[in-house]
Amino acid sequence: MSPLSALRLFIAAAALALLPVQAFALSIMDPFNIPAAMDGGTVKVGDGIAYADGPRHKLDVYAPEARGAAAPVVFFIYGGGWNRGERFEYEFVGRALAARGFVTVIADYRLVPEVKYPEFLEDSANALRWVQNNIANYGGDPNRLFLAGHSAGAYNATMLALDPSFLRDYGVTMPILGVAALSGPYDFYPFEYGEVRNAFGSAASPEGTQPINLVTSATPPMYLATGTTDPIVRMQNTERFAQKLKDSGVWVTTRYYEGFGHMEPVLAMGAMWRWRMPVLDDMVAFFQMFGAFPSGVPYVAVAPNPPEQLPESIAPMDQIIQQMNAMFQPIE
pLDDT tens digit at each of 332 positions of the chain: 443 344 444 444 444 444 443 333 457 888 889 888 899 999 999 999 999 999 999 999 999 998 888 999 999 999 999 999 999 999 999 999 999 999 999 999 999 999 999 999 999 999 999 999 999 999 999 999 999 999 999 999 999 999 999 999 999 999 999 999 999 999 999 998 888 999 999 999 999 999 999 999 999 999 999 999 999 999 999 999 999 999 999 999 999 999 999 999 999 999 888 888 999 999 999 999 999 999 876 666 554 555 554 444 444 556 666 666 666 656 65
Predicted local distance difference test score (pLDDT) of residue 326 = 64
Name the residue type at position 266.
V
Predicted local distance difference test score (pLDDT) of residue 68 = 82
**Is residue 60 a contact partner of residue 47, using CB atoms and an 8 Å limit?**
yes
Predicted local distance difference test score (pLDDT) of residue 4 = 39
Predicted local distance difference test score (pLDDT) of residue 313 = 43
Element (H, E) at 148: strand 140-150
Q: What are phi and psi of 299, to 5 degrees?
A: -85, 125
What are the start-end ranges of the H helices in the chain? 3-17, 91-99, 119-134, 152-162, 164-169, 194-200, 236-247, 264-267, 279-289, 317-325
Predicted local distance difference test score (pLDDT) of residue 133 = 98
State how far the Cα of 163 lies from the Cα of 161, in Å rounded to an integer.
6
The residues pairing with 71 across neighbouring beta strands, listed in sequence order, are: 140
Predicted local distance difference test score (pLDDT) of residue 2 = 43
Predicted local distance difference test score (pLDDT) of residue 276 = 87
The CB density around residue 71, as the number of other CB atoms within 10 Å, is 26
Predicted local distance difference test score (pLDDT) of residue 37 = 83
The CB density around residue 181, as the number of other CB atoms within 10 Å, is 30
The pTM for the full model equals: 0.87
Predicted local distance difference test score (pLDDT) of residue 42 = 95
Distances (CA, A) of 110 to 52, 122, 137, 149: 12, 10, 26, 16
**Is residue 307 a contact partner of residue 3, using CB atoms and an 8 Å limit?**
no
State how far the Cα of 130 lies from the Cα of 135, in Å rounded to an integer.
8
